[in-house]
Amino acid sequence: MYSKINVKQSFSDFILYIFPSVVTMVLVSFYSAIDSWFLAQYVSTNAMAAINIVLPYSNLIWGLAVMFTCGSCALVGIKLGEGKRSLANTYFTSMFWFLTGFTAIFAIVAYFNMDRIIYSLGSTALLFEDCKTYLKYMILGTPILAVKLFLEYYIRLDGRPAYSLVMSLTGFILNIVLDYYTIVVLGWGVFGASISTITSIAISTLMGLVYFKLYETNLKFTKFHWNKWYFIKSSFNGAGEMLTELSSGIVTIFFNIAIIKFAGEDGVAAMAVNINIFYFLISIYLGIATGAQPVISYAYGAQNKKRLGEIIDHCKKAILFGSLAVFTLARFYGANIISWYIGDNQQVIDLAVHGFRMFSYCFIFLGFNIFIAGFYTAIGNGLIAGIISLLRSLIFVLAALFTLPSLIGINGIWLSVPFAELATMAISIVFYLMFVNSYFKKLFCKHRIIFIGNCIACQESMDTEILCPLGL
């Protein structure tokens, strides 16, 4: 049981363990990107822009689902680490039914307010009908999307990230096939994209339900038990992830409004391309963070400080290598991705390429911010996770978005995110050092210096497998 969670791993073993989570997050990021690509290629860039207008609704639903899922998943992982399996199963079951009911009610309310939602998202008259078509089916699929996310997270916590990967891979392939058939063959346009996305997500969700129904699992469905304090604590603990998704939706609205002033509908299309590529690339960081969360929660709950220090060390290395790879890809090959994505609309291509070259600098900084926020969620400290998430994805972005464009024009829009991530990184480092110095305090001598088993100041014998507070 939990053989890969509670035992020592080399860095290569750790990478193999989180790899399915990384791939899963990459595939999840592709859902709207696939729709956008087919629409840009076979319908119009305006159709693609309409999906970007509606994207904040999906961000909101995803954010709510992540809040309840990540928050509760961390608490369940901690209970498993403490050996309280029965309580863990109760929490797991209760959150599943609560999330299903909550998102169903949310969808009903949203369905009867579609026009208001579309106009509030910043749609123009030209894009309204396409926006409404896509949003309608996103609303109807709201509970399905939320449950899919929930099941994928808990399957990873159950110790089988590979099955979670199979779920996402199935949905990903099916979405491509259905998009081609409905958009290219049948010519259904935005309607085809929406039907394809919801159908593929529904199939993935069904696979998750089959897993917990038919397979021998560690986590099991039990009787629903209402505990308001558990739901409140789960919500609070997962607030950081929710704020990230919600803020992304809010920021997307302001990005669209700002870019329209400079470049009209072509600007929105360029922004849509860059946002889709952005979500694809940051999914690598999200995969590292979410993949590590179960092992972090388990080690923290078991008070296994040695194991926790090891995991932190592996995550920092993975983030470093990932940041170098992603930045290189974005900075030097972003133009190729954009050209392939859009097709032959040269005006949109030029706008997107110019913007993404400046946008790409954010990938140097955001990996560490995402990890630290996810780490604090995993140990049950939603307050700090929320602070980091709110700063990087909303407050600093809006501050830059409201000031930089007036100073340097459209370039200020593209540089808003790099500015926000850099500012947040300084704060994330402080929070990281605060945790390490407090949690591992008893594991260090008074000089706080570790050198190959002994303190170089006093030669006191130390455990070399415990992290130095400064990460050395």
Tell me the CA distances in angstroms from 428 to 59, 278, 344, 365, one per residue in order. Answer: 24, 21, 42, 10
DSSP 402-414: HHHHHHHTTHHHH
Checking if the pLDDT of 413 tops 50, the result is yes
Q: Of 317-331, 392-406, 430-444, which gets the smallest average pLDDT?
A: 430-444
pLDDT at 465: 37
The 3 state secondary structure assigned to 117-148 is: HHHHCCCCCCCHHHHHHHHHHHHHCHHHHHHH
pLDDT at 405: 84
- Say which residue the tokens 């999914």 belong to: 283
pLDDT at 441: 66
Q: What is the mean pLDDT of residues 316-328?
A: 90
Which string of b and e fits 26-35 if b means at least 16 CB within 10 Å?
bbbbbbbbbb
How many Å apart are CA 196 and CA 171, to the nearest integer? 10
* DSSP single-letter state for residue 451: B
How many Å apart are CA 330 and CA 364, to the nearest integer? 11
**What is the Cα Rg of the chain in Å?**
22
The 3 state secondary structure assigned to 177-233 is: HHHHHHHHHCCCHHHHHHHHHHHHHHHHHHHHHHHHHHCCCCCCCCCCCCCHHHHHH
Checking if the pLDDT of 442 tops 60, the result is no
139's tokens = 């609303």
Let me know: does 430 contact 423? Beta carbons within 8 Å.
Answer: no
* DSSP single-letter state for residue 186: S
* DSSP single-letter state for residue 364: G
Q: What is the mean pLDDT of residues 84-110?
A: 90
Let me know: does 448 contact 469? Beta carbons within 8 Å.
Answer: yes
Let me know: does 255 contact 246? Beta carbons within 8 Å.
Answer: no
How many Å apart are CA 290 and CA 284, to the nearest integer? 10
The helix/strand/coil state of 454 is: strand
Helices and strands per DSSP (H, E), number in the chain: 17, 0
Name residue 375's beta-bridge partners. none
Q: Which residues contact 9 (CB under 8 A, 6 or more apart)?
A: 17, 310, 314
Tell me the CA distances in angstroms from 149 to 3, 75, 90, 216, 235, one per residue in order. Answer: 24, 17, 19, 21, 15
Residues listed for the chain: 472
CB atoms within 10 A of CB 2: 16
> 239: pLDDT confidence band, cut at 50, 70 and 90?
low
* DSSP single-letter state for residue 7: S
Checking if the pLDDT of 94 tops 70, the result is yes
Query: What are the phi and psi torsion angles at 461 (to 5°)?
Result: -65, 130
Query: How would you class 319 by CB atoms within 10 Å of its CB: exposed for 0-12, middle for 13-18, buried for 19 or more?
Result: buried
Checking if the pLDDT of 445 tops 50, the result is no
pLDDT at 111: 92
Q: pLDDT tens, 101-135? A: 999 999 999 999 998 888 888 777 888 888 888 88
Q: What angle do CA 403, 408, 410 make, to 5 degrees?
A: 90
Query: What are the phi and psi torsion angles at 451 (to 5°)?
Result: -145, 100
Q: What is the mean pLDDT of residues 370-396?
A: 86
pLDDT at 389: 84
